[in-house]
Amino acid sequence: MKLALVTLLALAADAHADCAVSGLAARVLTPASTVVPGDGGIVVAAMNDRSGKLDPGDAAVQPGWRLRVGSDMIKPPIATIAPGLAVYRVAVANAYDAKLEDDHHTVVATVKPARRGGDALAAPAIKRIWYLEQHSRHGGTAVTVELAGDAPTGAVALVLADAKGTPRSWGPAGGTTLSPFSSPDCAALPNGTIPSKAGDKVTLFWLGADGRVSPATKPLVVEPK
């Protein structure tokens, strides 16, 4: 059984009575009207949701979702960026907009296709990265980074990968202190998530709202808190 379900079962067995265990649901991270170039796409993430499920596979990858461009309905190629983080490719041009529809034909995202986008994001500038294990009533573990400045405009996720570049986990972008790995009490993790800890050598990269990834950092060692 994959990590999300294993984690959930372990938490449920040891959870406090006031702890409500959640599931996972697909959520679009790309804002409406984002310009998406040919090498980009619409970002979809597996997010904790009280009414979400814990099905096999990656909740961010929804094979039944379709891209509507004019009168055409297209099955978009889906690229997995990290466990629980995917990009639905929008490889069309000369269209006013493209709409991503879910299994019920509800529009969940509307973007503007383009041959080219703006400048790609630069590699993250990391000031410090550390591991913390909390032993409070509702504790958990996390790898947190302090940036040299604010997260760049247009970034929607910070991905944590191993030293060779294989993605392990991710966290939402925003601010100067981010957690690209977090395992709080009672929360489910996307299937395939690999925990990181102090002493691990890792790299990090941004995922933009337009579905493009930045270059990665050089390998960094996760410090103990």
At 76-124, the pLDDT tens digits run 999 999 999 999 999 776 668 999 999 999 999 999 998 877 888 999 9
Residue 120 lies in a domain: no
Shared domain check, 78 and 49? yes
Shared domain check, 70 and 159? no
Shared domain check, 105 and 7? yes
d(CA 163, CA 23): 30
pLDDT, average across residues 159-181: 97
Strands (DSSP E) contained in 3-40 are: 23-28, 35-37
pLDDT confidence tier of residue 5, bands split at 50, 70 and 90: very low
Shared domain check, 92 and 130? no
Q: Which of 114, 142, 158 is the last residue in one of the domains?
A: 114
pLDDT confidence tier of residue 62, bands split at 50, 70 and 90: very high
CATH number of the domain residue 130 falls in? 2.60.40
Q: Which of 48, 83, 114 is the last residue in one of the domains?
A: 114
* Tens digit of each residue's pLDDT (9 = 90 or more) over 201-210: 999 999 999 9
Shared domain check, 215 and 141? yes
Residue 121 lies in a domain: no
The confidence score (pLDDT) of residue 20 equals: 63
Question: Would you give the distance in Å from CA 204 to the centre of its chain?
Answer: 13
Shared domain check, 97 and 45? yes
The parent domain of residue 206 ranges over 126-224
Residue 173 lies in a domain: yes
CA nearest 85: which of 2, 178, 193, 188? 193
Summary mean pLDDT of the chain: 88
Shared domain check, 144 and 61? no
Residue 119 lies in a domain: no
Share of the chain above pLDDT 90, in %: 72
Beta carbons of 59 and 190 less than 8 angstroms apart:
yes
pLDDT of 68 > 80? The answer is yes
Residue 204 lies in a domain: yes
Shared domain check, 184 and 110? no
> What backbone torsions phi and psi does residue 88 show, to the nearest 5 degrees?
-90, 110
The confidence score (pLDDT) of residue 117 equals: 77
pLDDT confidence tier of residue 196, bands split at 50, 70 and 90: very high
Count of domains observed in the chain: 2
The confidence score (pLDDT) of residue 15 equals: 38
The confidence score (pLDDT) of residue 18 equals: 54
Q: Which of 51, 86, 114 is the last residue in one of the domains?
A: 114
The confidence score (pLDDT) of residue 94 equals: 61
CA nearest 107: which of 33, 190, 212, 209? 33
Shared domain check, 97 and 12? yes
Looking from the CA of 170 toward its CB, the CA atoms found within 13 Å total 31
pLDDT of 143 > 80? The answer is yes
Beta carbons of 38 and 115 less than 8 angstroms apart:
yes
Beta carbons of 12 and 187 less than 8 angstroms apart:
no
Shared domain check, 135 and 97? no
Shared domain check, 67 and 19? yes
Beta carbons of 179 and 222 less than 8 angstroms apart:
no
Predicted structure pTM score: 0.88
* Tens digit of each residue's pLDDT (9 = 90 or more) over 9-58: 333 333 344 556 679 999 999 999 999 998 999 999 999 988 888 889 99
In the chain the first and final C-alpha atoms are separated, in Å, by 31
Shared domain check, 110 and 208? no
